Amino acid sequence: MNGRMFALVREKSLYLKAGSANVADFLLSGQLPYLHQCCGELFPTNFYRVPLKVVEDEALLERWVAKAVEQLETAQEAEKQSELLDCRYEKRTGRASFTLDTLMF
């Protein structure tokens, strides 16, 4: 997973990474995104609290964790694709990427 988070524990609750393939599972069970507080403001994250019924069922929890890991891998692949198209990528990494010539009229 290359140092990336697929889960977090906060205030005795387990949160898992959500994405397009599993966010409905969380929303249908009444869960809302984890709110990260920074500089006095709250920011929603893509981590959702795992319902107690899931935590208590080992087989079900394993499936939810597998989906969270899958979302992490999907997000990493999307990030790689985005970097290939992002002209700022060269500035951040020092790696060569394509550059568009600016035409002045």
Least confident span in 11-25, 45-59, 85-99: 85-99
Q: What is the pLDDT of residues 44-54, one digit of tens each?
A: 999 999 999 99
Evaluate if residue 33 carries a pLDDT over 80.
yes
Q: How many CB atoms lie within 10 A of CB 18?
A: 23
Cβ atoms of 29 and 16 closer than 8 Å:
no
What are the domain boundaries of the chain? 7-84
Q: What is the pLDDT of residues 65-77, one digit of tens each?
A: 999 998 888 777 7
Evaluate if residue 58 carries a pLDDT over 60.
yes
Report the distance separating Cα 15 and Cα 49, nearest Å.
4
Evaluate if residue 99 carries a pLDDT over 50.
no
Provide the token pair at 83.
């970097």
Considering the chain, what is the average pLDDT of its residues? 81
Q: Can you tell me whether residue 14 is helix, strand or coil?
A: strand
Q: Can you tell me whether residue 78 is helix, strand or coil?
A: helix
Q: Which CATH superfamily is domain 7-84 in?
A: YgaC/TfoX-N like chaperone (3.30.1460.30)
